[in-house]
Amino acid sequence: MGFDCSLTVSFSFTYRAELGGGMVEHEIDHVLVGQFNGDPVANPEEVEAWRWIDKAELAAEIAAHPHRYTAWLGIALEQLKRRESAPSL
């Protein structure tokens, strides 16, 4: 996306999703979090389309149209939301 920022490991999770046609995703996903204050400059050879979206709006879109999104995104977003709302120790 044409930018750098520091990243912090947030969590990892394993998921399995039946994709149809005999295809299955079974992965360990690692979620890293960072903050960037600027405008991304996507390489058109690597990125067809992108947009900024609020996490709550994204969660609503995933709930309404899950077939538009990869299976791991809803899982990661929900776990990220839980971690952000958990009290700090």
- Supply the pLDDT for residue 89: 59
Q: How far apart are CA 70 and CA 75, in angstroms?
A: 10
Range of the domain at 33: 7-85
pLDDT tens-digit series, residues 45-76: 999 999 888 889 999 999 999 989 988 999 99
Q: What is the pTM of this model?
A: 0.76
Which amino acid is present at 10?
Answer: S
Q: Is 2 a member of any domain?
A: no
What are the Cα distances from residue 31, in Å, to 8, 13, 24, 67, 79? Answer: 9, 8, 21, 22, 10
Q: Per the structure, how many domains does the chain have?
A: 1
Residue 1, in any domain of the structure: no
44-62 burial by CB neighbour count: b if 16+ within 10 A, else e?
eeeeeeeeeeeeeeebeeb
Quick check: is 78 in a domain?
yes
